[in-house]
Amino acid sequence: MSLPLDDIHATGKALELVTEAAVPYLDSLSTRPVSDPDTAALIGELGGPLPERGDGTVDGVARLLRIGTSAATHSAGPRFFHFVVGGSTPAALAGDWIASLLDQNPGNWAASPFGTQAETVVLGWLKDLFGLPASYGGVLTTSATSANFTALSAARFWWAERHGVDVTTDGLAGLPPMPVFSSGYVHVSTRKALQMLGLGRDTVRRFARDDAGRIDLHALDRALAEADGPAVIVANAGDVNTGDFDPIDEMAELAERHGAWLHVDGAFGLFAAVSPRTRHLVSGIERADSVISDGHKWLNVPYESGFAFVRDPALLGRAFGAWDAPYLPGEGDEHVNYQFLGPDSSRRARALPIWATLRAYGREGHRAMVERHLDLAAHLGRLVEEAPDLELLAPVQLCVVCFRYRRPDVTDLDALNARLGAELLVDGRVFAGTTVYRGMTALRPAIVNWRTTEADVELLVSIVREIGARLSG
């Protein structure tokens, strides 16, 4: 039998195994494919019955390390352009290990003044980094989806209160549907947040003036005027297909005129605020009622990391706080208790990897990282424009490049590009995914990993052209 207490002497050895494997693994990311061929058998080794007698600390950890370092998708590396997936800066990775080492629960101050204070500090630093007012309330979440949920919970509380209902205590019964208006860029996670909030994901009305989804401000204005009571506007800072932005300032103008709530989903696009070159894309965010973003995308902090900011800090507490449990802190507590400001109760010290990376690289380091990705995206855009068999489908504004493979002798380009996208993932040397943009099946690589170089984006272009030629030849 293996008991952790009997095996306590093995702690150092198990951790050493991880650190010994870590540097060679991380070094290998620059050259190895995104996924190794034939990982299925290895992944299968995860299975089998629950062990009756455990392997013991060292053997159990060694097994996981052996399987994981080969079978994992090497998405922490520089050529995973699928979705919007960041890597981990060295400091963020180490900070995350420290979070596991210390195993804090910064849900409430009494459980961890250190973890709670770290969260308060990083929320302040992040507001400063993005140019958001220091007076905004905030909380760390697991993701942008849960941050959208958190911010829209605050919006829902605000909206219900305007109808004379305390939705926290009394729920939604008797209330009309909450009007939620956006552009065609609205992300699925906002709709998921609405579905979790009991508001329904199909209630979002999308006002688009073209097939790309760009906002129709006149239609939005009209809908706000006609709405039954206050509405919630969702502005999208960074559309996932092209990296395009809703005009936040203009939407803030409408929100102010009609007494609506303005929510900004900036899961990756909020990082435009970090560089003077792209800051204009998010102009007006400081007028929003709520703003969210992800740590595990462009901040390059390990999963799971997101954050939500709300103009009126009291609303997070109203939406998530006050449970009347005698063993928990109460409403009048002089310290902040983050479990009352977001969906999680017990929670990981998510602040530590964020603290570590911001402390290690500072505003300048993170700005340089963002600008490097802007340059790489522009470079990729130019390579696409120069290639006779590639077609750039939207201007490159940020870190996403939307393009497709095209040849005059191929009639069904959508089918070809869909097969190309699928082949890329089987091939494994680089990863990029397809989308449908303005009715066209297209690739939409996103560049947000600190390790990515010019050579990596050049490799993406040459592999796409190679596979495209093979499939159409």
- Residue numbers of the site for ligand PLP (CB under 6 A)? 84, 143-145, 187, 189, 238, 240, 265, 267-268, 294, 306
Q: Is the preceding peptide bond at 304 cis, omega within 30 degrees of 0?
A: yes
Helix, coil or strand: residue 165: coil
Least separation, in Å, of the C-beta of 401 and ligand PLP?
A: 15
- The residues that bridge with 206 in the sheet, in sequence order, are 182
We find the least distance from the C-beta atom of residue 178 to ligand PLP, in angstroms, to be 19
Q: Least distance in Å: CB of 427 to ligand PLP?
A: 24
User: Which of residues 109 and 450 has its CB atom nearest to ligand PLP in the complex?
Assistant: 450
Cβ contacts of residue 144 below 8 Å, gap of 6+?
189, 265, 267, 292, 293, 294, 297, 306
Q: What are phi and psi of 237, to 5 degrees?
A: -100, 90
Task: Report in angstroms how near the CB of residue 96 gets to ligand PLP at its nearest.
Answer: 16
Nearer to ligand PLP, 197 or 467 (CB): 197
Shortest Å distance, C-beta 165 to ligand PLP: 28
Query: Least distance (Å) from ligand PLP to the CB of residue 296?
Result: 6
DSSP conformational letter for 449 = -
Closest approach, Cβ 245 to ligand PLP, in A, equals: 11
Could you tell me whether strands 232-236 and 261-265 are parallel, antiparallel, or unpaired per DSSP bridges? parallel
Q: Select 25 or 431, whichever has its Cβ closest to ligand PLP.
A: 431
Q: What are phi and psi of 116, to 5 degrees?
A: -65, -45
Given the complex with ligand PLP, which of 262 and 390 has the nearer CB atom?
A: 262
The residue among 155 and 160 lying less far from ligand PLP, judged by its C-beta, is: 155
Is residue 418 within 8 A of residue 467, CB to CB? The reply is no
Asked if residue 384 lies in contact with residue 392, where contact means CB atoms within 8 angstroms, the answer is yes
Q: In one letter, which amino acid is 45?
A: E
Task: Please name the helix (run of DSSP H) or strand (run of DSSP E) that holds residue 182, with its range, or none.
Answer: strand 180-182
Q: In the complex with ligand PLP, which residue's Cβ is closer, 108 or 397?
A: 397
Which lies closer to ligand PLP via its Cβ, residue 84 or residue 398? 84
Q: What is the identity of the amino acid at 21?
A: A
Distance from C-alpha of 466 to C-alpha of 256, rounded to nearest angstrom = 52
CB of 183 to ligand PLP, least distance (A): 12
Beta strand residue intervals within 381-463, DSSP E:
390-392, 403-405, 434-437, 440-443
Q: Contact, 338 vs 313, CB < 8 A?
A: no
Q: Which amino acid appears at position 138 of this protein?
A: G
Query: The tokens of 141 are what?
Result: 């979440």
Q: Which is nearer to ligand PLP, 248 or 467 (CB)?
A: 248
